[in-house]
Amino acid sequence: MMNPEIKARWVAWLRANADKQTQGRLCRLGKDGVSERYCCLGGLSEIAVEDGIISKKIMEDPMFDGSQMASYGTESDSEDLSIRCRATSHTTLPSAVVPWAGVEDPDPKVTVDGVLVPLTYVNDDMRLNFNQIADLIEEQL
């Protein structure tokens, strides 16, 4: 079960930032290099940064020429690529956020119209807005 305090903060964050939604990345920077847009999991990642659980690093986005994105997580010295990939992320929750928030995996799942789907799908493919996603999180996680 999700940590109730973290869940309340995440839901409030989503509602307060409803006009800053994006798809495909936890955080995408505007062409000005300053304005930021987030996916719903990016909101939880931002809260984890505030609490000192993970760090946030701005970098070039290899998928979009001249764009920037944020990578969240903790640096890993491991030689094992699978460990390093879970330690930082730009599309799902980094591994340190999962136990801290009390979610089951890096892409928590909710039920929409009777089907269990990951939040990235709800945000990116179904294009539910942050207020709708906040309602699902509040009710189900």
Angle at 46 between CA 4 and CA 101, to 5 degrees: 30
What does each of the 141 residues of the chain score in pLDDT, given as a tens digit? 899 999 999 999 999 999 999 999 999 997 776 789 999 999 999 999 999 999 999 988 888 767 899 999 986 544 544 444 456 788 999 999 999 999 999 999 999 999 999 999 999 999 999 999 999 999 999
Distance CA 23, CA 91 (A): 9
Closest by alpha carbon to 37, among 47, 23, 27? 27
Distance CA 28, CA 77 (A): 26
